[in-house]
Structure 1
């Protein structure tokens, strides 16, 4: 079930609407000579504002929290207010900028007078517009739209490729390895064997029980069998690296140049985790088509792939294989991780952020449609590369 955006951020967090002005005022006190403006597009778990004509720079990673450096010219900043349950992990944020460079924003905590259950984070504003504003909802792509999709798909591959060079030997991950993990009796890392032991985030520590739940409770036999088959093959993931995956790789979080559709940034890293490479590739499917309504049954959603989606998919894997040749040797494992990502992302309903109820045909039509369409994709993408 999709998040309920009819309720305001404040109501969803048990606060009155007057707290909007309270938060805007608190942020304004930190930037007294700047314009603080609520963004038109808001996410489910945050209240986001732009701070324009700021004279304050981002603080260096090793600077004390009270150190406010002043600069004569600073680009506009973004400030996000989030409830504690959905706060941004600054360690993950630092890892994201180290791995993905300018694709990810630099984060720092912002000290301001907010209600106790809320936290504020400052970040640099990334250039570009959300891809969700640009998406073309038509089956056939003409010359210009085809060129834009090619640019977007290839830049998406370049973005994904950046994570391969990172690995679970990152100090951030090694500090959090569960020594008693039942998934790997010998947790000593090697350069040849990476296991689910290294998946230490909210989703990562529960991959196996989540797949077991899906294998028992998905709404039809074919989907349950698919989850079972994937569960039985999960140890094959030992042959691919555990990398930092963006946890919400959807068009509204992908920024593009509005003229070329080259990806310029990715926002909202709140759900990012160290997971097997390829887990976030459910996001590729969302770039190859669009959600529509079935003409024979207006209440039934249907995901339609573009007529040239197979070629776009080939272009993605060609670029990824060119930038990370190691992927070619591990395509079965990457495909397995991709299927796990599809199951975990679409197999559980959002339900106000709980994400623990298995989807059903009645309440979660979009998610079930995506499960079926995305899991039936039959690709051997690098066979002809």
Structure 2
């Protein structure tokens, strides 16, 4: 049995299935064990081997990865976490979930990521963690301030939801050992489990904490509990395991990841070349030589009008993301962030997924040019 999903330029994003996911899920269903099983553990091993790290801990979502990483790092009430406002709201919600406070910082408008200088300027006496967002798949290099952060006991927790497979220097993101790295394997990510996430811990102690937290604080594994009349809960926990059904999808996706990596880079370069002569639209660079692109974005004047025009032409544009410091839920931590606010008014995500063809990209860019001309911006 195969399942095919074939979005085109009408969709902003969509999953890419290799045709074997349904069979992999069916095998797990036939086995009768759907929770955390050896299938999940195999997925963890494969990812750890790919990154060249000692351990990888699978969880139920990218948000769960951020939440459990913060808990493993000891972040909680009274602490402040430096985080860019330009990110999906899940990043901020994870900070609030542990009782900490977000300290919103501005971004470099060219990359949509934080810089080491921005982080340094935001550090306070209550800063306990920095959570850089690897926006669009672009790696973030904080090595210049690593000693300063370490000396102050400030942990780095990478929100790499967009960045599975990207490289920082010669290593894959997650492999430098200096940060807890959190991946998302949600429906539209470069590698999907349907829904899922993963934390790359720095130490065995962090790995143990995350494993207990994802299983409601229970010490024993599922296999160990089957052979005893009791079990022990030694701390706070949540139902955050990655099911074997989702892990089965992830294993098939992982087998095809090299092709996905190549395809996404090719599509992004195709967009870059097609957009180069276009006046009125500025492509956001993702450092495609190192990143596995997750988004293709431009900055345009009169963004809302351009958005409406393209939607009326059945082009699946989107906005990633409305700045969080302007959201009602996070108003208590608002501070002026001029670059973020400017980008928030201009950013536009073009359709970007592995089903796109070069003809689709030509259609998108032509439609964008027509939209810009119609409002007098090109």
- TM-score normalized with structure 1 length: 0.27
More strand by share: 1
TM-score by length of 2: 0.27
Q: Which protein, 1 or 2, shows the higher relative CO under an 8 Å CA cutoff with sep ≥ 6?
A: 2
